[in-house]
Structure 1
Amino acid sequence: MRDRESNGSAGTADQGPVAGPPDLNLLRTFLAVYRSGSFTAAARLLGLSQPTVTTQIRALERQLDRELFERLPRGVAPVPFADDLASRVVAPLDALASVTGHGGPDGNGPAAPVHLAGPAELLCVRALPALAPLVESGVRLRVSTGLTEPLLDGLRAGRHDLVIATIRPRGRSLTAVPLMDEEFVLVAAPVWADRIGGPARIAADGPAALHGIPLVTYAEDLPIARRYWRHVFGKRLSCQAAVTVPDLRGVLSAVTAGAGFTVLPRYLCLDELASGALVPLLDPEDPPINTGFLVQRPGSADNPHVDLVRDHLLQAGRTW
């Protein structure tokens, strides 16, 4: 076994296996690392220093004479032996935590809040309405918004329990399950659609029909629009945005009011398309689609409400 974690934290030297059953504190620390996917995150959860967590895991590995975690550039991943150990200790340790008053549905207090993070638009338009019945039943939520990569870093560090991500995370320190597919649609207000000549004009002339029409988008580098151009038109989008808003709900509002055209996830503008406030400018046979993922750290969560929120989101995501 190595004596240094990938983040440079020192461990204790290997001294061979130690006889006797594992200490309960070592097993608690093991379970925290297993669930959080990181020595640093486990330390935060346990209220310990990171070197202390490293030392305790090294001690447990010596007692068991087995390595428990593979050190990754970001965090750690359990080896198969650790998966088996976790399956054997999780129920007794959780039961003990309940008896000693760590909270939960069967404990002495309410379960801790579930820390959920993801894109602001998807959380506000889809996730939070879907979770409303759970809130009424006593589930507490702490919601954060932002871009996927920083949110995944926060998940690895233990700041979030669940993240809705627009990409599948790399590596094995996080587990990801497909949540939904979002379809992108090219839209504008009717006044611009009439001026352009409608979908028939764009189908015939391609993106040249949009020349001179203001583009409203999420960011200066036009991430969603560029992807649409590449996928549908097979061309590189080379124009500047007239308006940028770092919230797709703002993009939707501006375009509905007549500011120009844009590319939006269909789920976000369903009502406007149904009412005629927005018009689809093209109906390609193969529209661009992006898969969203529900991501968490490996292992069972300390808080049973995390699993409840996860399962509820996965069920609701089938209809999104």
Structure 2
Amino acid sequence: MTDLGLLATFLEIYRGGSITAAASRRGLTQPAVSGQLAKLEKELGEPLFIRGGRGVTPTPRADELARRVGPPVDQLRSAFDPVAAVEGTVRIGGAAEFMTARGLPALAPLTQRGLRFEVTLGLANDLLNALKTAQLDVVLSSVRPGAGLTATPLTDEEFLLVGPPLLARTVDQELLGEDPARALEHLPLVAYSDELPIIRRYWRSEFGTRPKNATAVVVPDLRAVLAAVIAGAGVSALPRYLVEPALVAGSVELLHQAEIPPLNTLYVVTRGVTTPATGTVSST
């Protein structure tokens, strides 16, 4: 998955038409911005800008990329604007998978301003309870909180049903089109918990029923779920941001093409205007 910082730098270059201007807006040196752009272009396998004497001109690929990533990157960065105003230490909580893949890369630039983070990883309800009791200042939550907390929508997780290639080949494609739940029910599941929260939601949303599949592995970390799926233990429903590199590499395959993939909104949650022990967080 492309790092959020690379995409933020790309957008600054794209919108300003200049590497120099982007460096100033990002608080980086010009060589650092050029290096980030080179890394992104290498990842994509094609140039994004044509260099000229007066700046850079975007390629059609850059236009397409800016249209696709601009809104979510802007939303992710703006959601942390209240945190950017803090001095001292911010105690922030979130799911281990999202914090690793998206949250910490988004927060890292703020450390250059002298901000310090104490990160707690855990389940949404536990973290929200810690926020209510002032043990945390900010929570990135997959659960919309109740009264007394302020929630700002951050991004939507899109869930995909994936499995290893060998298991994918056992699915009757004709039956999949007629009765997908029955076509998939012979496949073992790899789940986040015994309650099958993500998988059950996918089945209910797409197939209108609960999964009848046997569960092969239960492990409370979506990264471990993905690892077990890649290893051939079973199939699972996982966030696109987590599984996309494995899809590109061919380690897993889509088992079902949802017309509108199930979504789950993530929120930045605060207690409103608060004064933590070592900093100040103001809600939007």
**Corresponding position: 1:222 with 2:203:** no
Q: State the structure with more CA Rg.
A: 1
The answer (yes or no) to whether the contact 1:217–1:225 under 8 Å persists in 2 is yes
Mapped to 2, the partners of 1:125 and 1:301 lie a distance apart of 28
TM-score (ref. length: structure 2): 0.65
Aligned partner letter, 2:163:
A
1:222-241 mapped onto 2 (5 Å cutoff): 222-241=196-215
**Corresponding position: 1:179 with 2:154:** yes
The answer (yes or no) to whether the contact 2:89–2:279 under 8 Å persists in 1 is no
Q: Which residue of 2 aligns with 1:270?
A: 244
* Most deviating of 224-233 and 130-139: 130-139
Aligned partner letter, 1:186:
L
Q: Which runs of 5 or more residues in structure 2 are unaligned?
A: 1-83
1:120-131 mapped onto 2 (5 Å cutoff): 120-131=96-107
Cα distance change on mapping 1:133 and 1:190 into 2, 3 Å: same
Mapped to 2, the partners of 1:119 and 1:167 lie a distance apart of 11
CA deviations over 1:129-185 (Å, ceiling 9, x no partner) = 1222222332211111111111111001111110011121111x1100001101111
Percent identical residues = 43
Shift of 1:203: 2.8
Mapped to 2, the partners of 1:122 and 1:259 lie a distance apart of 23
RMSD across aligned positions (CA):
2.4
1:71-110 mapped onto 2 (5 Å cutoff): none
Q: Provide the aligned length of Structure 1 versus Structure 2.
A: 200
SS of the equivalent of 1:151 reads helix
Mapped to 1, the partners of 2:212 and 2:166 lie a distance apart of 24
Shift of 1:117: 0.3
Greater strand share, structure number: 2
Aligned partner letter, 2:158:
E
Aligned partner letter, 1:250:
A
Mapped to 2, the partners of 1:272 and 1:206 lie a distance apart of 23
**Corresponding position: 1:260 with 2:227:** no
Q: Which residue of 1 aligns with 2:136?
A: 160
Cα distance change on mapping 1:237 and 1:211 into 2, 3 Å: closer
Mapped to 2, the partners of 1:295 and 1:191 lie a distance apart of 41
Aligned partner letter, 2:179:
D
Q: Which runs of 5 or more residues in structure 1 are unaligned?
A: 1-104, 312-320
CA deviations over 1:291-311 (Å, ceiling 9, x no partner) = 11110011154666746xx89
Cα distance change on mapping 1:190 and 1:304 into 2, 3 Å: same
SS of the equivalent of 1:212 reads coil
Shift of 1:238: 3.1
CA deviations over 1:70-94 (Å, ceiling 9, x no partner) = xxxxxxxxxxxxxxxxxxxxxxxxx
Shift of 1:202: 2.2
Shift of 1:274: 1.6
Q: Which residue of 1 aligns with 2:176?
A: 202
Q: Which residue of 2 aligns with 1:280?
A: 254
Aligned partner letter, 2:151:
A
Mapped to 2, the partners of 1:266 and 1:301 lie a distance apart of 36
The answer (yes or no) to whether the contact 2:159–2:237 under 8 Å persists in 1 is yes
Aligned partner letter, 1:189:
P
Shift of 1:262: 0.5
Mapped to 2, the partners of 1:305 and 1:194 lie a distance apart of 54
CA deviations over 1:26-52 (Å, ceiling 9, x no partner) = xxxxxxxxxxxxxxxxxxxxxxxxxxx
SS of the equivalent of 2:99 reads helix
The answer (yes or no) to whether the contact 2:185–2:212 under 8 Å persists in 1 is no
Shift of 1:244: 0.4
Aligned partner letter, 1:210:
L
Shift of 1:196: 1.8
